[in-house]
Amino acid sequence: MSAVPAAPATDAAPVAGTRTALVLRHDATIHLGNLEPVLHEHGYSVTYVEILSDDLSTIDPTSADLVVVLGGEMGAYEIDRFPALAREITILQDRLAAERPVFGVCLGAQLMANALGARVYPGPTNEIGFRTVEPTSLGATGPLRHVAGVPVLQWHSDTFDLPEGVTRLAGSPQYGNEAFGIGDWALAVQFHPEVTPAMHEVWLRASAAEVTAAGLDPETLRAERDLYAGTMQDASRALFSEWLDGLDR
């Protein structure tokens, strides 16, 4: 996805909480969106880290109660173009080694896979639009059950091999690895549970050339949004809420 000028960081008003969530962000158009109210309901305060501009050397990988890794237009393997990704991957390696809670979305999921030693690479197709993912038998017993049969927003062209020691939780006809987890404390998803209609519109306008190159009609994507966004947002909030509840068990 192409970067555009900064958008509001969130659709929700800031709320103080007794727990801390550190949000690693790679693009000003991408934020917690649909998921931020769920964090506040669970008592989290939110701090954004701008990966491409903030001083990452000051970050303690394990101190926050939760780390959320958002998406971005770059590939997890493009460290030569985006050197800050190297430090971000180290942060994730340290946090995952300490078994501290991490939730990754799209690029965030790919960075988690990279941090766990798996290969991340361009996939066979540019997947843009609302598509269903298929929870595995294990995925269907946990938070991913909420999105079973629900069209969710996909916007990616990269994929990853499944890291050793994780549990595959969902796939799709286009991509075999759509979600993986470690215990109750780490969850990575390729789709975008955070997206709101306003975010989606910003992305469509910012990435018009990418959408056209993929042979897609923006009006068709808007029609999909009108049809599916509300159901996806409800299902995604339920997924995230159940996963956060699991951190307390």
Buried b (16+ CB within 10 A) or exposed e, 47-72: ebbbbbeeebeebebeebbbbbbbbb
In a domain, 94, yes or no: yes
**Number of structural domains in the chain:** 1
What CATH number is given to the structural domain containing 224? 3.40.50.880
In a domain, 209, yes or no: yes
In a domain, 146, yes or no: yes
In a domain, 160, yes or no: yes
Q: SS3 for 112?
A: helix
Give the residue-averaged pLDDT of 177-194. 98
pLDDT-based confidence at 17, cuts 50/70/90?
confident
Spatial CB neighbours of 170, under 8 Å, sequence gap ≥ 6:
133, 134, 135, 136, 139, 144, 147, 178, 179, 189
Q: SS3 for 19?
A: strand
DSSP codes of every residue in 178-190: SEEEETTTEEEES
Buried b (16+ CB within 10 A) or exposed e, 145-161: bbbeebbbbbbbbbbbe
In a domain, 13, yes or no: no
In a domain, 5, yes or no: no
In a domain, 2, yes or no: no
Whether 96 contacts 186, CB under 8 Å: yes
Task: Retrieve residue 150's tokens.
Answer: 């629900």
Range of the domain at 137: 19-246
* Dihedral of alpha carbons 78, 82, 84, 88, sign: negative
For the entire predicted model, the pTM comes to: 0.92
In a domain, 220, yes or no: yes
The 10s digit of each residue's pLDDT in 85-140 is 999 999 999 999 999 999 999 999 999 999 999 999 999 888 899 999 999 999 99
pLDDT-based confidence at 16, cuts 50/70/90?
low
Mean pLDDT of the chain: 93
pLDDT of 180 strictly over 70: yes
Give the residue-averaged pLDDT of 209-219. 92
Q: SS3 letters for 193-245? A: CCCCHHHHHHHHHHCHHHHHHCCCCHHHHHHHHHHHHHHHHHHHHHHHHHHHH
